[in-house]
Amino acid sequence: LLKNYDKLNVRSAHYTPLPNGHSPLKRPIDEYIKYGIINLDKPSNPSSHEVVAWIKRILRVEKTGHSGTLDPKVTGCLLVCIDRSTRLVKSQQSAGKEYVGVIRLHSSLGEVSSY
């Protein structure tokens, strides 16, 4: 049943120290930025490319990418991937967009003739 038991990684304690990397609470801020994704509520006038360029300049990183273009007049969720996480952009681009609008009628329509 367990013929390769000696080759398995067996966890025998609650905390297994890792030879590489950091625990989340001790991870330096540079690592968060290097592998980070920002979930941004894009304002209504700048384009998605402008917002991504602002983030690139503010964080002083080499690569940024976004998960799909929102129209300039539209607000909404824009995922911005930074440096190493830009590899994940393609997996997020197929998610699609959904536009939600609110219509307010000032008076009742009465009977509407059908076409």
Q: Where are the domains of the chain?
A: 35-89
User: Residue 51: helix, strand or coil by DSSP?
Assistant: helix
Q: Dihedral (C-alpha) 63, 68, 72, 77: value to the nearest 10 degrees? A: -90
Binning pLDDT at 50, 70 and 90, where does residue 80 land? very high
What's the whole-number mean pLDDT along residues 103-111? 72
For the entire predicted model, the pTM comes to: 0.63
Catalytic option among 30, 41, 71, 83: 71
Residue-level pLDDT at 54: 94
Is residue 71 part of the annotated active site? The answer reads yes
The identity of residue 27, as a single letter, is R
pLDDT tens by residue, 3-60: 776 776 666 655 656 677 777 788 888 888 888 899 999 989 999 999 999 999 999 9
